[in-house]
């Protein structure tokens, strides 16, 4: 038995553990999907930032595209002879001059140092698209030429450089191109294009990062100048820059705008927010499903336990009934056999044997009637024929009939009533069964003090019948179960008391069939009181008469014959 019980508990725990594990896996999967989608959205936005930087770079490089495919060797002769670049080179220069990104283009021949005061270099004339020598040029040309010259010489000295030009940026100030004579492996000169910084920020970078909002949401873009820790541009001015915000930084590459960095901050991932709504709904549905599943599992386990307990009680009941049915039959058989064989001839002994047979037959009849009551109740065949009856009269009649039997058991019987308005709609036969079972219960579970009290009273709505004894009482932990079929209180106080666990079950069923209810209160070794309530049924005429006469009766039952 212990092994079977332990095995059932193990199965229950395994089932609960499996449900919890599956639930955990599902919750993990839901959060993992959400995190993957959020990470995917971050990667998408990062790729958009990369595209944004690529577009800005393309805008800067575009005016000089194709320069690498042009032969640059004639540049020196053309400038010295005509004061301008060869046609193909000149076309590139003219294209760059029309770009709003640049606000000045200068050419410095190799050997001329624009950093020397009074040095003359060529300046692009926007009106006639020619080159003019001038010593009036911005200082940024000096810095730009110095940067590209150093880089180009290093590249040429490597011996592996195979391009006809080299590009170097002085941050966001100038774009510098070193022109190279590949045949002679030497520098020809240096093109310097100065950036229009207002245009870069206000008309190129800012519109592009603002357009970023059309492709994504829940993020902010800042263009930072790390040189002076300044926010140059942003698509969401209302959000203050904070380096702690989860984000991604991207430079413009190489020396182009080398002081500037584009940073995207992930404020509120829209995909994660959208999925969170679905996630919470899924978690709620999953939680409800798990609760139902756990509830069903626990309910099945609980039901199985109850069924097993009921089965055990039924088995015990069957063993007890079999034994108790055999006992009166054996007594009756032995007494009848002795009489039929002529062994008993004396009148006193014949009377004694006759009493044995009579008492055991009564006992057998009561047992059979109880079993029949249970069978009828279970099958729904108990027929209740309700009609108006006075509960006082029913109780008196019961005590008149059973007084001798109860007192023969050594019990003192009393009956009190405080009201004659005890008319109820009831089946008197079932009330007799109820009284019989409760009386038998009081007799069975009383030891030293043998006292049974019956009382009938009323309140505003009900007629109340109470049956009290001063027996061994019922422990509180058993009270909730005593009306269950086959349930018996097993403890040291009533271990030797015979019973089948049916009487109180029958009582409760019959009380409820008559529209009433039953309650019990008990204290160990002080006694038990059963309280039955039935709805009052009093005709209007009777009620008026009662009001006029103010009939109130108080009786103490001594001999039922006196009240007959």
3-state helix, strand, coil in the chain (%, to 5): 50, 20, 30
Q: Would the pLDDT of 319 be above 60?
A: no
Bigger pLDDT: 321 or 356? 356
Q: What is the pLDDT of residue 69?
A: 87
- Quick one: what percent of the chain has pLDDT higher than 70? 82
Closest CA to 392 of 416, 361, 360, 368: 416
Q: Would the pLDDT of 15 be above 90?
A: no
Bigger pLDDT: 477 or 213? 477
Instruction: Determine which of 98-107, 208-217, 510-519 has the lowest per-residue pLDDT on average.
Output: 208-217
| CA angle 551–556–562, rounded 5-degree value | 90
What is the CB neighbour count within 10 angstroms for residue 457? Answer: 16
Q: Would the pLDDT of 154 be above 60?
A: yes
CA distance 231 to 229: 7
Q: What is the pLDDT of residue 556?
A: 40
3-class state of residue 10 by DSSP: helix
3-class state of residue 96 by DSSP: helix
Asked whether the CA dihedral 415, 421, 427, 428 is positive or negative, the reply is positive
| End-to-end CA separation in angstroms for the chain | 57
Q: Would the pLDDT of 486 be above 90?
A: no
Q: What is the pLDDT of residue 560?
A: 41
Q: What's the whole-number mean pLDDT along residues 461-466? A: 91
Q: Would the pLDDT of 501 be above 70?
A: no
- Going along the chain from its start, the domains and CATH numbers come out as 65-195 (3.30.450), 270-379 (1.10.287.130), 382-563 (3.30.565.10)
Q: Would the pLDDT of 504 be above 80?
A: yes
Q: What is the pLDDT of residue 150?
A: 93
- Quick one: what percent of the chain has pLDDT higher than 90? 23
Query: What's phi and psi for 249, nearest 5 deg?
Result: -110, 145
Q: Would the pLDDT of 320 be above 60?
A: no
Q: What is the pLDDT of residue 449?
A: 85
Q: What is the pLDDT of residue 211?
A: 81
Q: Would the pLDDT of 67 be above 60?
A: yes
pLDDT-derived band at 554 (thresholds 50, 70, 90) equals very low
Q: Would the pLDDT of 276 be above 50?
A: yes
- Residue partners of 220: CB distance under 8 A and separation at least 6: 234, 235, 236, 239, 245, 264, 265, 267
Q: Would the pLDDT of 9 be above 80?
A: no
Closest CA to 53 of 202, 246, 264: 264
Closest CA to 450 of 499, 413, 489, 396: 413
71: DSSP letter: -
Q: Which of 17-31, 57-71, 380-394 has the highest mean pLDDT?
A: 57-71
Q: What's the whole-number mean pLDDT along residues 452-463? A: 90
How far lies 28's CA from each of 32, 33, 521, in Å?
6, 9, 53
Q: What is the pLDDT of residue 490?
A: 62
pLDDT tens track for 257-270: 888 999 988 887 66
494: DSSP letter: S
Q: Would the pLDDT of 273 be above 80?
A: no
Q: Would the pLDDT of 492 be above 50?
A: no
Q: What is the pLDDT of residue 121?
A: 93
pLDDT-derived band at 82 (thresholds 50, 70, 90) equals confident
Q: Would the pLDDT of 147 be above 90?
A: yes
Q: Largest alpha-carbon pair distance within the chain?
A: 169
Q: What is the pLDDT of residue 367?
A: 66
How far lies 255's CA from each of 139, 151, 221, 279, in Å?
19, 12, 21, 46
Q: What is the pLDDT of residue 498?
A: 55
| β-bridge pairing 412-417 and 451-458 | parallel
Taking the CA atoms of residue 197, residue 203, residue 209 and residue 214 in that order, the dihedral angle to the nearest 10 degrees is 180
Q: Would the pLDDT of 402 be above 90?
A: no
Q: What is the pLDDT of residue 3?
A: 58
**What is the residue-averaged pLDDT of the chain?**
81
Q: What is the pLDDT of residue 100?
A: 93
pLDDT-derived band at 351 (thresholds 50, 70, 90) equals confident
pLDDT-derived band at 35 (thresholds 50, 70, 90) equals confident
pLDDT tens track for 225-260: 887 788 988 888 888 888 888 888 999 888 888 889
The answer to whether the CB of 313 falls within 8 A of the CB of 487 is: yes
Q: What is the pLDDT of residue 314?
A: 61
Q: What is the pLDDT of residue 190?
A: 94
Model confidence, pTM: 0.50
Instruction: Determine which of 57-66, 105-114, 316-325, 429-438 has the lowest per-residue pLDDT on average.
Output: 316-325
Closest CA to 485 of 300, 311, 368, 366: 311
Q: Would the pLDDT of 549 be above 90?
A: no
Q: What is the pLDDT of residue 14?
A: 82
Q: What is the 3-state secondary structure (H, E, C) of 255-298?
A: CECCCEEEEEEECCCHHHHHHHHHHHHHHHHHHHHHHHHHHHHH
């Amino acid at each position: 038995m212990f092994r079977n019980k332990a095995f059932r508990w193990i199965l229950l725990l395994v089932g609960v553990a499996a449900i919890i594990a599956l639930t955990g896996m599902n919750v993990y999967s839901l959060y993992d999907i959400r995190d993957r989608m959020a990470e995917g959205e971050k990667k998408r936005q990062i790729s958009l930032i990369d595209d944004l930087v690529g577009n800005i770079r393309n805008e800067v490089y575009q005016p000089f595209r194709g320069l690498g495919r042009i032969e640059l060797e004639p540049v020196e002769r053309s400038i010295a002879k005509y004061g301008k670049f060869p046609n193909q080179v000149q076309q590139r220069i003219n294209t760059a001059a029309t770009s709003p990104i640049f606000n000045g283009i200068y050419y410095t021949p190799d050997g001329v140092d624009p950093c020397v005061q009074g040095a003359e270099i060529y300046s692009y004339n926007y009106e006639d698209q020619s080159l003019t020598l001038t010593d009036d040029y911005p200082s940024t040309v000096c810095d730009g030429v110095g940067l590209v010259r150093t880089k180009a010489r290093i590249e040429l000295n490597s011996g592996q450089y195979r391009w006809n030009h080299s590009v170097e940026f002085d941050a966001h100030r100038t774009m510098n191109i070193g022109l190279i004579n590949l045949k002679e492996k030497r520098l020809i000169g240096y093109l310097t294009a100065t950036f229009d910084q207002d245009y870069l920020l206000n008309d190129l970078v800012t519109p592009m990062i603002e357009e970023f909002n059309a492709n994504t949401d829940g993020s902010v873009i800042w263009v930072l100048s790390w040189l002076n820790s300044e926010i140059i541009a942003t698509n969401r001015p209302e959000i203050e820059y904070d380096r702690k915000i989860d984000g991604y930084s991207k430079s413009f590459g190489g020396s182009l705008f080398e002081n500037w960095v584009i940073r995207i901050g992930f404020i509120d991932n829209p995909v994660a927010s959208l999925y969170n709504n679905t996630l919470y709904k899924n978690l709620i549905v999953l939680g409800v499903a798990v609760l139902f599943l756990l509830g069903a599992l626990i309910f099945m386990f609980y039901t199985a336990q109850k069924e097993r307990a009921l089965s055990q009680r039924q088995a015990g009941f069957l063993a007890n009934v079999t034994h108790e049915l055999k006992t009166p039959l054996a007594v009756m058989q032995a007494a009848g056999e002795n009489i039929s064989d002529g062994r008993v001839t004396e009148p006193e002994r014949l009377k004694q044997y006759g009493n044995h047979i009579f008492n055991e037959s009564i006992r057998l009849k009561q047992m059979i009637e109880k079993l029949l009551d249970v069978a009828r109740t279970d099958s729904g065949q108990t027929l209740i024929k309700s009609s108006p009856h006075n509960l006082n009269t029913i109780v008196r009649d019961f005590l008149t009939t059973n007084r001798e039997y109860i007192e023969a058991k050594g019990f003192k019987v009393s009956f009190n009533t405080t009201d004659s308005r005890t008319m109820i709609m009831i089946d008197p036969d079932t009330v007799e069964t109820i009284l019989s079972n409760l009386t038998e219960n009081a007799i069975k579970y009383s030891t030293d003090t043998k006292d049974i009290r019956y009382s009938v009273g009323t309140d505003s709505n009900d007629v109340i019948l109470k049956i009290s004894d001063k027996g061994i009482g019922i422990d509180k932990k058993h009270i909730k179960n005593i009306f269950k079929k086959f349930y018996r209180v097993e403890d040291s106080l009533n271990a030797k008391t015979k019973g089948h666990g049916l009487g109180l079950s029958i009582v409760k069923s019959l009380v409820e069939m008559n529209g009433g209810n039953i309650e019990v209160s008990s204290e160990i070794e002080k006694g038990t009181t059963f309280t039955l309530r039935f709805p009052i049924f009093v005709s209007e005429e009777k009620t008026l008469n009662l009001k006029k006469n103010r009939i109130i009766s108080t009786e103490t039952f001594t001999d039922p014959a006196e009240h007959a």
